[in-house]
Amino acid sequence: MHQDMSSSESSESSSPFTKAKAGEAFLIDPAGGPGPGVLVLHSWWGLTPWVKEFCGRLAQSGYTALAPDLLAGQTPANEAEGQEALASVDPDELSGLVMSSAQTVRAASKDASEPIAVIGFSMGASMALWLSARLTTEVGAVVTFYGTQSIDFDDATASYQGHYAGDDHMVSEEDRVVTESFIRLGGRETEFHLYPDTKHWFFEDGDTFDQAAADIAWERTQQFLSQHLG
């Protein structure tokens, strides 16, 4: 059952986990109650049913997951609409929403004193990397899917895992190498994985979805979260 995040009420359902929809975000706990916190930052396709289903998978693995709506309800149907939707969002408001969402999922997690993980897709991956360099003690693990960032990670305390397509029209090999180099220059633990013969968004619903690569990436993600988030 969905309900506003501002409500303190909870309810049971027949699903293996409990769910709550909070205004412009989707929050989900494991069946046994809150777990370690994971912030999910979607791509420019918006807060789609697939994003909520992915949060459900995290809940089944024992995590409390929060996916904020970064595009104010927009769910573009193609790349041109995606670019337009992203351009319509105020950068300051977007960064503020991401930071406040990180604080929200941390507070909703099993232990609000512990760092959270952030998983981002495409534009959300870039935001996840950015966030880890801003909330340096609050973010302990970052998983990026086909997203890059060339910023200073010197103050970050997170560990990083990246998943990248072998044939990506939006992220070049140079983009990927530069991102990994900046993270390593900051002295942070990093593991980047390249999936040959896949394209951008290979992990998500759509024309470029690749089941085999997605299965491997999901297994690696679970192992990484288990290692760095408990």
The residue extents of the domains of the chain are 32-229
pTM: 0.91
Which class for 211: exposed (0-12), middle (13-18), buried (19 or more C-beta within 10 A)? Answer: exposed
Choose among 140, 150, 51, 155: nearest CA to 102: 140
Whether 35 contacts 110, CB under 8 Å = yes
Q: Which CATH class is domain 32-229?
A: alpha beta
Tell me the pLDDT of the chain (230 aa) as tens digits: 222 233 223 333 333 344 443 348 999 999 999 999 999 999 999 999 999 999 999 999 999 999 999 999 999 999 999 999 999 999 999 999 999 999 999 999 999 999 999 999 999 999 999 999 999 999 999 999 999 999 999 999 999 999 999 999 999 999 999 999 999 999 998 999 999 999 999 999 999 999 999 999 999 999 999 999 96
132's tokens? 């880890």
Whether 76 contacts 105, CB under 8 Å = no
Say what angle helices 91-108 and 123-134 make with each other, to 10 degrees.
Answer: 70
Choose among 193, 144, 191, 198: nearest CA to 166: 198
**Which amino acid is located at 116 in the chain?**
I
**Which amino acid is located at 104 in the chain?**
T
Strands (E), 23-135: 25-30, 37-41, 64-68, 116-121
Stretch (H or E) spanning 164: strand 159-165
Whether 145 contacts 176, CB under 8 Å = no
